[in-house]
């Protein structure tokens, strides 16, 4: 059984790359037998089989890549990797770190009956909006470990948004006593136990039921075609390892980390960060709505008061044109990259749904994650690109079919290109400039003086 589980682990999880977009803001690069993952704040290297020769050159290429991006790197070495790999890493000034056991279990072997708990205690899933409890769980998770995937990394990856993570707590009177998180690994048959703050077998029956539900209703994350989630993987030592072995897990190998850092300090945030169920995004929307006298709850006109340094265009010219929409996003993104301050974040927000903040200079370029698309107001959603101080940005209105660009620096960077793409300007500083839009006999918008 252990050999079968190790083979599945080696084939599906080692050198894993996402089948679609993958973790938020992370760039995966293949270099021969290895896969580099660039998180913007750090990086990882993984692989399956390695050649017997040329290891030194392969390691140097990874160091050069992470030095160029300014990311510390973690390289996991498994017990069945070539023994000379660790020697070459140490020779290249990698430092040995933690060592853990890799444990795998068939999902069907996990306990399904609830574990008895002391009177007053219960196990349940934590849902969005439970801010005090989430803050407590986050603090517990940060103070515990080591974990296969930290809770902070899972949140940064966007696992909760795709409903591919289950965050469970054991609580008493609303107070979290222990927490654990399980993550569906996209495109594989594996569910990963990211971590537990304490060894807690009572989480496993709930996770098994959750996996069964997601197997029947997979949503965005799914195993390979024709398969189902079949395995659970964990990395553990000590009491956690003993608990997992006692409930059906098999010890399949060990893994040790090796670490190397370039001389420059790493970035503190990923290039793209999720804003969801978060007071941060709500606060920016609130200030924007107040200054622009805007309400997303009504479709009546006038909808808002545009600032003095602004220009608005009608979007009919690209409404059904994906290439035109992509050109619009590209123009705005280039303008933001040229005008925001070094290290300044731009917020891409939609009311009532998740948004992002990102560094325009660290997205959208070669080897960088894509910039969130937020200029064109499709699907009936208002879209706001803005700096935190509302100094500059764009606002897309789906009901008025318009895009307003505000802030003198940004306007200077994009106005000519947007006029060439979209046509005649509608408003300056919120005032019409004498152009009237109507619809011709073919249903397309036309303008005139």
For residues 5 and 251, the answer to whether their CB atoms sit within 8 Å is: no
Say what the pLDDT of residue 296 is: 65
Residue 8 included in any domain:
yes
Number of domains forming the structure of the chain: 3
CATH of the domain at 171: 3.40.630
Residues 305 and 197 in one domain: no
Q: Say if residue 225's pLDDT is above 70.
A: no
Same domain for 285 and 245:
no
On whether both 237 and 304 belong to a single domain, the answer is no
- State the average pLDDT over residues 360-382: 88
- In this prediction, residue 169 has a pLDDT band, given cuts at 50, 70 and 90, of very high
Residues 108 and 174 both lie in one domain? yes
Residues 24 and 44 in one domain: yes
The predicted structure's pLDDT at residue 444: 43
117-134 pLDDT, tens digit each: 999 999 999 987 787 888
Q: List, for residues 66-85, the tens digit of each pLDDT value.
A: 999 999 999 999 999 999 99
In the DSSP assignment, the letter for residue 201 is T
Task: Determine the average pLDDT of the residues in 255-279.
Answer: 90
Q: Which domain range does residue 15 map to?
A: 2-99
What digits encode the pLDDT tens for the residues 20-59? 778 889 999 999 999 999 999 999 999 998 987 889 999 9
The answer to whether residues 318 and 400 belong to one domain is: yes
Mean pLDDT of 76-100: 96
| Inside any domain, residue 266 | no
Residue 215: per-residue pLDDT: 80
Are residues 142 and 229 located together in one domain of the fold?
A: yes
Same domain, 284 and 415: yes
Instruction: Please indicate, yes or no, if residue 267 is contained in any of the structural domains.
Output: no
- On whether residue 262 sits in a domain, the answer given is no
Residues 284 and 246 occupy one common structural domain = no
């Amino acid at each position: 059984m252990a050999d079968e589980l190790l083979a599945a682990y080696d084939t599906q999880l080692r050198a894993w790359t996402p089948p679609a977009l993958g973790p938020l803001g992370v760039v995966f690069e293949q270099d021969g037998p290895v896969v580099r993952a660039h998180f913007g704040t750090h990086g990882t290297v993984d692989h399956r089989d390695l050649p017997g020769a040329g290891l030194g050159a392969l390691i140097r290429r990874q160091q050069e890549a992470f030095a160029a991006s300014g990311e510390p790197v973690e390289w996991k070495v498994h017990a069945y990797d070539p023994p000379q790999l660790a020697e070459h890493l140490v020779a290249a000034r990698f430092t040995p770190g933690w060592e853990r056991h890799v444990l795998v279990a068939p999902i069907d072997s996990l306990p399904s009956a609830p574990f008895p708990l002391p009177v007053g205690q219960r196990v349940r899933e934590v849902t969005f909006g439970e801010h005090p409890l989430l803050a407590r769980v986050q603090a517990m998770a940060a103070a515990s470990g080591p974990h296969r995937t930290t809770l902070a990394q899972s949140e940064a990856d966007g696992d909760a948004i795709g409903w591919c993570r289950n965050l469970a707590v054991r609580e008493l009177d609303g107070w979290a006593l222990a927490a654990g998180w399980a993550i569906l690994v996209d495109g594989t048959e594996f569910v990963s136990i990211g971590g537990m703050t304490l060894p807690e077998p009572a989480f496993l029956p709930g996770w098994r039921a959750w996996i069964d539900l997601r197997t029947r209703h997979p949503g965005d994350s799914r195993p390979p075609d024709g398969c189902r989630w079949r395995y659970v993987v964990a990395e553990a030592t000590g009491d956690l390892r003993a608990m997992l072995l006692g409930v059906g897990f098999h010890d399949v190998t060990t893994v040790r980390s090796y670490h190397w850092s370039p001389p420059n300090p790493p970035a503190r945030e990923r290039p793209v960060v999720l804003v969801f169920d978060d007071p941060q995004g709500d606060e920016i929307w609130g200030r924007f709505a107040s200054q622009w006298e805007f309400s997303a709850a009504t479709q009546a006109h006038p909808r808002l008061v545009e600032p003095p340094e602004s220009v608005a265009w009608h979007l009919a010219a690209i409404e059904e044109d994906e290439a035109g929409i992509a050109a619009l996003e590209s123009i705005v993104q280039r303008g933001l990259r040229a005008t925001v301050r070094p290290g300044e974040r731009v917020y891409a927000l939609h009311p009532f749904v998740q948004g992002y903040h990102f560094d325009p200079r660290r997205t959208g370029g070669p080897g960088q994650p894509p910039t969130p698309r937020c200029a064109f107001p499709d699907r009936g959603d208002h879209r706001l690109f803005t700096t935190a101080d509302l100094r500059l940005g764009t606002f897309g209105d789906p009901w008025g079919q318009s895009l307003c660009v505000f802030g003198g620096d940004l306007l200077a960077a994009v106005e000519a290109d947007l006029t060439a793409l979209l046509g005649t300007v509608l408003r300056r500083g919120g005032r019409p400039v004498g152009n009237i839009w109507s619809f011709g006999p073919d249903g397309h918008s036309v303008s005139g003086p």
